[in-house]
Amino acid sequence: MNDSSTENKTVLITGASSGIGAAFARVFASNNFDTVLVARRKDRLDSLASELSRSYGNKNTILSADLNTPDAVESIYNRLNEMNISIDALVNNAGYALPKPFMAGTWEEHSSMINLLVTVPTELCHRFAPGMKERGEGWIINVSSIAAFAPEFPGSLYNAAKSFVLHMTEALDLELRPSNIKCLSLCPGLTSSEFHETMGVKEFLSYIPKWRWMDSDTVAKQGFDAVMKGEHIYINGRVNRALVNAFKVMPNKVKYFIGKKQIIL
């Protein structure tokens, strides 16, 4: 895209301390955006901000926050207002999958995951879209997953949460597109990051061949290009696109069987 059109624009990225979020920070910064980096690990955000300032000479603001604390979004919104920072692009990326079936997890564990994957991104869109509308331009990337299309995993609420993100993003895009705000649901498949380590399944997944994995930089770059082009859904990678196409036409009985056998595709 034309670099001058993104000069002095600011992107807010959640989950910027590792993986796809950190990769998004690099892509936006290399396209002249200033950044607001949000995550819990401040040391990670500090070193990413220094790296970005050194490499791209942009302005990087760190907001270290646990998005699962009450009023986290309101407090981010208020702090940015106090600092006179307007948000032109929003990347709702922070997330994890609870590695426990429904009955094994406490309600607090389930509700925290639902909050981070569903409520927080929706509230951030609701907070920041009005400013984008006022300024006549905006970009929103909500990181979903091919899990939004996939068979369920016994007792896991992750696919349902990512499905919400997919549908919510499309609904917002339909409403906001006439105001020149482009909303993209980004659907990566297996991506190398800290995600599976956090879940405690990294070893277990080591049998999956390397070619099935994408790297975070490619996923983020494709997401950036897709939202700038005005796409509203982007599935990263040919294999993942083929899988999603198969899921879309798969009879529910077959999907249910795959879920029952806990087959990872």
Ligand X SMILES: NC(=O)c1ccc[n+]([C@@H]2O[C@H](COP(=O)([O-])OP(=O)(O)OC[C@H]3O[C@@H](n4cnc5c(N)ncnc54)[C@H](OP(=O)(O)O)[C@@H]3O)[C@@H](O)[C@H]2O)c1
Which parts of this chain interact with ligand X (CB under 6 A)?
14-21, 39-41, 44, 66-68, 93-96, 116, 143, 145, 188, 190-191, 193-195, 198, 216
20 versus 32: smaller Cβ distance to ligand X:
20
In this structure, the chain runs to a length of: 265
We find the least distance from the C-beta atom of residue 237 to ligand X, in angstroms, to be 11
We find the least distance from the C-beta atom of residue 192 to ligand X, in angstroms, to be 7
Count helices and strands (H / E) in the chain.
10, 9
95 versus 138: smaller Cβ distance to ligand X:
95
We find the least distance from the C-beta atom of residue 15 to ligand X, in angstroms, to be 3
How many Å apart are CA 172 and CA 162, to the nearest integer? 15
Catalytic residues: 158
We find the least distance from the C-beta atom of residue 261 to ligand X, in angstroms, to be 21
How many Å apart are CA 213 and CA 233, to the nearest integer? 20
Asked if 98 and 19 count as a contact pair (C-beta separation under 8 A), the reply is: no
Give the CB-nearest residue to ligand X: 19
We find the least distance from the C-beta atom of residue 228 to ligand X, in angstroms, to be 19
SS3 212: helix
Token digits of residue 157: 């609420």
DSSP single-letter state for residue 117: I
How many Å apart are CA 53 and CA 50, to the nearest integer? 5
**Sign (positive/negative) of CA torsion 139, 225, 241, 145?**
negative
181 versus 219: smaller Cβ distance to ligand X:
219
First CA to last CA across the chain, in angstroms?
A: 35
41 versus 229: smaller Cβ distance to ligand X:
41
31 versus 216: smaller Cβ distance to ligand X:
216
DSSP single-letter state for residue 143: E
